[in-house]
Structure formats: structure tokens, C-alpha cells
Structure 1
Amino acid sequence: MLIAEGMDCGLGFGVQGYASRGVQEPSGEGNIMGAHEGFTETVRTNMSQLRRRLKSPELVMEMMIKGSKSNTDICLCYMKDRVPSELMARIRRSLDRADLEAVLTTGYLRPFTEERRYRIFNTTGTTERPDVLCSKLIEGRAAILVDGIPYAIVIPRLFCENFQTLDDYAYKPYYAVFIRWLKYSAFLLAVLLPAVYTAIVMYHPELLNSTLLMILVDAEKEAPLSILTEALFVLLMYEIIREAGVRLPKPTGGAVSIISGLIIGDAAVKSGLVSTPLLTVTALAVLGGLVVPDIAPQITVLRFLFLLSGGIFGLFGISLLSCAVLANVCASENYGFPYTAPFSPFIASGMADTAVREGIEKLQSRGFTVEDYHE
């Protein structure tokens, strides 16, 4: 209560608080040389974390309320001197269309912020790290903070960003380039390796040298199932174990996943149900997918699709599906920003921080923003 002398009334302020979680290290975006603070479920706390890192007066935070029943606070963040005005106008129109009863997770709003929804990859991103979000805002992107959700929606997102981390800028450029291309290779390995192995062994054994071919034949001749069935069985078992580990309580989830994987894998190989080379191939593919966790759901689905194409039609089926996926990805765009930029359309200046990673001084002198990708 605020009472002032000479006034016949007072002002009452609500000071009641809500139970909330403190600032903790992000669980899904690990880093080595960056900050260890993550967003919380309180939107005001998240806004203060952004303001503490970006003290510029150009940082704008627009508050709005969404959800006729939940009345959820939403904050639209952007740097007014960096973000294109057309982008902000289109984002506001997209949010105005979001006529929802409640906003309980980012999945409620993301469909409204993607103009073309029927694409394989998301054209908007999420992050739970304030330092990462600050870097995106400086590049000319917009972000949405939602009360009750420890993530921020970043608009727009490019395909190359799935292979970048803030740690890249703490390393020497040559090592950062090595890590990025390692992630690109791991992505291809995760998607294509089981399919290519199945297609070659079933339909194109002439591509293998005689020594390797004899090893694979000896391993597969005792298995009662076809190679395609074996691969599907192993991958499905992995997905079941992974999902069980995620849904179980943390103290037991990790242990259950490890023990289940060891027991089932060892039993499957010893019983002859699954061959050792196939188990090795699928394990490598799974590990490759863990290197790029931002697109793990898409990798999982693509891995099964390519496996079925390779197991039924051989390398010809893999080639056809690759063309279809590539066409879908290249056609993806959001608010006029091509998803595959700067590779397609090719933008030479954008390669300085995608295919390679130049020094910080050169990157700062370029003053590159996401608006340079706009068509």
C-alpha cells in the first residue's frame, strides 16, 4: 500500500508471487566455453536475462496476451535497428491469427509462425540459452518468449544453423570448420548409412571387394530374417529404448536405457537374430544423429524412409527419395527467407560463417545480418 501526505486515497499493489524455478544450466543445449545459464518458466526472468546481456536501447520487447482461457503472457523480442520491418509486420499478423484457448508449449504457437507448414524441417527454431538468443537477435532475427515455457522461438531459422553452436566462436577457425563439417558428415551418416548398407548387401554386392563381401555373407547367412527386417527391428528397438529412457524419471531413465541396450543387443547377436555388422551400422547411424540433436526427429523419420526405399528398390530408390527430400528442403522458406541459404540460393558472403568460419574480426567487420538472405 502506497499512501502519500495530502492525498485522501492510497494505491494498492499486488506483490504476491508464484513458485518458480531458478536459473539453471540448460539441459538440452550443452556447451564447453559458453555461459551456463538457461531460460526458466518465468517470462519476466527470461526478459531480464536478455536485457542483462543486451543493454542496447534498440532492443524492443513487446508484451501481448494469448489464450482466451490461459491468458498467457508472450513477449516479442527484436532489435529494431537490425530486423526488417516487413518481417515484424508479418510475424505480428501471424500471431494475431493464433486464436487459442491456451498456450501451454511452444508447439501451440510455432505452426502459426511457419508460413509453409508441410515441410520436412522446421523453419523456426527454439533455444533455451539466453546467449544464443542474443546472438540471433543481433543477426536480425525475432524471438518469442512465452510464460511457462523455458524456450524461446527464433524466427526465421536456416538449415545451416542446425550445425552451428556458440562454442564454434570460442575455438580457432580451423577447428570450428572441422567440427562443422564433422556434423554435416554425421547427419548424412545418420540418415543414409543403414539404407546404403541394406541396398548394397541385398541388390548391389558387386560394389564390395571380395574380402568384405565374404565377411558380410558369413555374418548374414545365419540370421533367420532378411537384412531389411533386421535393420527395421534394431532401429525400432532403439527408438523404444530411447523413448523409455526419456519418459522414465531421470535417476532411472539413463540406467534403464544403457542396461536395456546392452542386454537386448548382446542377446540378439548371440541368438543369431541380428548380425554383428548390421548392429554396428545401426549403432553408427544412431550416434551420428546424436551429433545434431536439433533435427533428431527429422533424422529418425528420414532414416526409416531411406531404409525402406533402399531395402525395396536398392540404390535407385535411395536416389529417387534423395531428390524428393532435396526438392522439399530447397523449396522451404519462411517470411521470404530461403531455408537453405546461403547454399541455395548461393550467397558468397554468407559462406564466411556457414561452410567455413572466418575470424571474429572479419565477421564483425562484415556486419552480416539475416536480411542479406531475404529474397
Structure 2
Amino acid sequence: MRQLKQLLNAPEGREFLAENRIFLSQDAFISHLAAPANSALADYLDVGSTKLIFAAQQTYSDCTPSMLDRIALLNALAQQPDLFPFFLWVDTDRAGSDPLMVKFYWSLQGREKSIRLVSKAVETHEPRFIDLDRSQLQQSVNTLTNYVNQTVKWYKRDAAKEKLAPLKTLFLQNASGTLSQLNHQLVSFVLERHTGFNPFPVLCSDLLKHGLMVEDVDRFLNHLDEAIHVFNETVESLMQHDIDPQVRSLPADYLPLHYSCPVDQTRLTLRRQSQGADTFAVATCSKCGQPYQFYLGSKQLSMAEIAQTGRWSPDVCLVIFLNDLVSGYVGGKSSTIYYGLVMKAVLENVFHKASVPILVPPMKEMENGNGQANGLIYKYLSG
């Protein structure tokens, strides 16, 4: 099935994307921007009436080429006086869902080597709930130092060691923090040192703490069956048109919510369960066996009981819950499809709302690939 790259390579594909307000041109993208429908995020960020543009990524430990492409676009958009670009670091996903959340990579003699930041035992947790282990970080620093010594040519080694020194300090200063905090600081460090720019950061967990998405989640819950139907119908339609939707169909008991077990931090998928006229969100911890049940309501559903725990997180529908809070989105290879096509259909057909326009990086940069050993840490220290 065709992915974003194939669609962008074909004239009919680019036309199809433009019809869905997915653009390669910054000018076209900017011309379709409007003020956020809801000013709550702008008020929280204290940025006045500017148009909010964001890109998003899980809290990686390193910056990949595709991330850098999107960050470069945010930097270019920052030159526009009425735009406020920011990068949303999603520290509310399962850490093991992407290797770059728990380790980073180094190219050693043509082979890709990984440097782990946390143990495999915590990969079922969200980065915001993963406490760092100083001994593990010291081991990470030692491994990185050895790789630098083996990789960097002798005449560049002194410069590499000088670059490495503050990076070592950053690792060990964060030993009492969380994986979310460490990864965010690592990426910010190499971005500033290697590229000279670093977009305004926003952590997803901070948005949850301030309840900025609760209203939209509640609205979604009260149209759940219709949302599931439109979502699945759109996924099937895209597949029939040979387009990879980047998401799978939703089950009948689907909820867009996760909950982290307070006993062992395991991230759980909440499911819908009916008991008479009442609806609940339920899950059982796969590790400790503890069952959880949260009351959603009867005729009118609300996530209030879940929100009060401070341990919930959204799934891929995060972009739906953010849609009214922003003006535009700078998309990656997967999110452009599922936000710009699948979630767009849900927003339009269920909630009668327009999805925000999406800007994607130029095709020549999209073709650079996303090799894990091509991260900025390697480029910064070996260059």
C-alpha cells in the first residue's frame, strides 16, 4: 500500500493531499491557517492571539533526520510574526513502543550499536513515570566514551572529548530525575549545540496536568460509537484505495484512554464496559493483576474520575483532542496520514469540525531516511 512518500511523488497523490489540506508549500499552508477554535492552550502558554503551529514526537533520546526536518520547518515558521511554533514531546506513550525512547545509537565500524538508558523491565511504563538509575546512566556514559574513542579520528579526538564533557555532566545531573526529563534535555542539548535552534518545548504530561484536553475527550466519549464507525470506515476506504492508513481498525469496546498502574507503573489500555445503564472504563494490570474500574456515567459520559488520578494518557486520538487548541500541524510520515485523513474524517463527520492544515517537509528531505545511527548525538560528537 502507498505511504506518504509515494503519494508525494505522484501528481495525483499531491492533488489528493492538497484537497485534504496537506501541503508541501509553506505559503499554501500559511494561507489556510486560522486562530485556534479554543484559546485555552494559547492562554496556558501565554502567547496571546498568535496562531499555534506544532510538531510532535515521543520523547526520544536523540533527534532523527525526520525530526530535524520538521524542527527546521518550525524554525522557518517562527520568522512569521503572527505564528507561534512549538514542539510537543509526548512523554505519555509506552516507553518500549519505540526503541529511541529507551536508547540511542552509534555507528561503529559500519555497525549500528545501541546505548541503553534504562532497563528492559521498565519498557511497559511511560517515560514520565520511569525513575532513572545512576549506575545504568554511568554505564551509558562509559559506553559512549568508548565508542567515541574508537570512532573519532585521532586529530579530532580532543575536540570530541571537549564536546562530550558537558554531555556526560548532563547525563549524571539527571540521575535523580525521570526518563522523560533526561530525553528532553538530551535532545535540547544536541539541537542547540549542533543546529543552533531548538523549538519551544511543551510536554504532553503538562497539558494533561492542566486539563487542557478533558473537554474534548468527554465530547469524544459521548459520540464513541459514531466515532468508531467513521474511523473504521475511513481506514477501510483508504486501504481499498491502496493507501496505508497507519492505524488499525478499532474494537467495539474501544476507549481513547490509557491508565498507568500505581503499583508497578505498567501502562494499561482501558476498555469500555457496560453494567446496566452505567458505563465504565476497565483494565487489569498484566503484571500485578490489580483490576481497575472508573465510572464514566450513564446517559452523559465524563472522564472526570480518571482525570483526577493524574495517571491517564491519550492514545493516537491525541491529535483530535488537540485540534481545537492549535492552528496547524507539521506532520511526519505516519502522523500526516492518520491525522490528515483518518482523524480528519472523524472530526468532520462526527463533530462537524475542520481539521487544521498540515505541512510536510520537502520531498528531498523526506527521502533522507530515518536511520537510527544518523541521530544528532553521533553527528555532534563525531563531526
**Coarse TM-score class (shorter-chain normalised):** under 0.3
**CA radius of gyration, larger in:** 1
Higher helix share: 1
TM-score normalised by structure 1 residue count: 0.26
Higher strand share: 2
TM-score normalised by structure 2 residue count: 0.26
| Greater RCO, 1 or 2 (C-alpha within 8 Å, sep 6+) | 2
